Amino acid sequence: MTALVLIESGQWVLAYVEHFGPYPGEGDLREALERLDHGGSGWDCLYRPQQQFEVFLVERVMPKTFLADGRRHYRNLVIATASSAGELLALRDKLFAIGFAADRAIQEETARRMADFKRKTRAAALAKVHAALPHIFGRSG
């Protein structure tokens, strides 16, 4: 398990939303962060960075949790600290965008490489549709 990020009262922290990061006592922060190589960390329901990450001003720090916004949050969800919320919002957006950029590049390259095959396969399928319905499309040949 990864060591907890050191945090202090009065600091700003960037943390996973509880159900999208490592679970308390399970998993590893590194494993969760490595999933950022996929858009939304592989979660199909995540489209905006604030859905996956939260920024808090720490009020109090306990051994396994911290207090922010009057609620307790697990410390193992914290991935970074800073003196301002703006720094962490920029980091949040940057981290979240990495996987989507990778996904987009993969999709574009896949589409480029598959374009000729796709065109030929669709043409062959269309020919079969026409052949199966000569009363509508006429007879070929």
Q: Report which residue type is found at 29.
A: L
Residue the block writes with tokens 């990864």: 2
The winner for highest mean pLDDT among 20-29, 115-124, 132-141 is: 115-124
What's the count of helices (H) and strands (E) in the chain, helices before strands?
4, 6
pLDDT at 141 over 60: no
pLDDT at 1: 58
Tokens 């916004």, residue located: 69
Pairing of strands 78-82, 71-74: unpaired
pLDDT in tens, 37-65: 999 998 989 999 999 999 999 999 999 99
- Residue-range domain boundaries for the chain: 1-141
What is the reported pLDDT for 139? 77
Phi, psi dihedral angles at 67 (to 5 degrees): -105, 130
pLDDT digit string, tens, across residues 1-18: 578 999 999 999 999 999
- Which residue shows structure tokens 């000569």? 134
Query: Which stretches within the chain are classed as H helix?
Result: 29-34, 49-52, 85-132, 134-137
For residue 27, is pLDDT > 90? no
Least confident of 103-112, 119-128, 130-139: 130-139
Q: How confident is the model at residue 22, as a pLDDT? A: 86
Count of other CB atoms within 10 angstroms of residue 85: 15
Quick one: tokens of 133? 């319905």
pLDDT value, residue 131: 94
Confidence at 26, pLDDT banded by 50, 70, 90: low
In this prediction, residue 13 carries a pLDDT of: 98
State pTM to two decimals.
Answer: 0.81
How would residue 28 be classed by pLDDT, with cut points 50, 70 and 90?
confident
Nearest CA-CA partner of 55 in 23, 24, 95, 22 = 95
